[in-house]
Amino acid sequence: MKLDGSIALFQYWNRLRDGRPAPKRTEVEPADIKTLLADTFILEKDTRGEAVFRLAGTRLCASYGRELKGFAFASLWREKDQRMIARLSHSVFDHKSVVVVGYHGISRGERSNEFELVMLPLDGGVENPRCLGAVTACQRPFWLGADPIVEAQIDSVRVIDADRDPVFLSNRPAISVPALAPAQSALAKGGGGRQIRHLVVLEGGREE
């Protein structure tokens, strides 16, 4: 976690849970995090088991140019990343994981800005799991809020061990997410192999 908004929400959540896997959703008091509310959200599972916005802060909605309540969380992401973000949200729901995602938001005008997303589990019982989260902009360019974000591209994912001393919160390094499209590298073109994502596959085998 790098940004003040993410860290402040994590610290609040950590105090509430008091050693439990997650605090109860009824323990969250909006007045306690009033300076963070504009960037925070709560997710819930819909009837299909998908993560949807139950609530979303005003600045978060402004960044995307629409009210997010009721929208599928995965719909904010590019198609290639939707399966990953769905798995991460279910990990928060089902396994009480704490997840941090670094991503680029791409605007309708093809501008780009970096964001940090933190996802924190809330105990709503087996039937009603919740996720408390925040999206914090690394910078706030003049166009953010006027030129809506229409797609998000994951740059890194970090799963945090909340029971370890969060110093600060680098106990598990971020995992960079490479592009999915296969590419031919100079090595591959020279006959040394073929590149898939960030790996070079070398043709070989034992001669008899």
- Give the DSSP letter string of 33-86: GTTTGGGEEEEEE-TTS-EEEEEE-HHHHHHHTS--TTSBGGGGB-HHHHHHHH
Q: Topology of domain 4-177, per CATH?
A: Beta-Lactamase (3.30.450)
β-pairing, 51-56 vs 40-45, is antiparallel
d(CA 195, CA 58): 44
What is the dihedral sign for C-alpha 130, 86, 71, 144? positive
d(CA 37, CA 34): 5
One digit per residue, pLDDT tens: the chain, 208 residues?
789 999 999 999 999 999 999 999 999 999 999 999 999 999 999 999 999 999 999 999 999 999 999 999 999 999 999 999 999 999 999 999 999 999 999 999 999 999 999 999 999 887 889 999 999 999 999 999 999 999 999 999 999 888 774 544 444 455 454 444 443 444 344 445 544 444 444 445 544 4
Secondary structure element (H or E) that encloses residue 107, with its range: strand 98-107
At a CB cut-off of 8 Å and minimum separation 6, what does 18 contact? none
Domain ranges in the chain are 4-177, 178-208
Whole-prediction pTM = 0.78
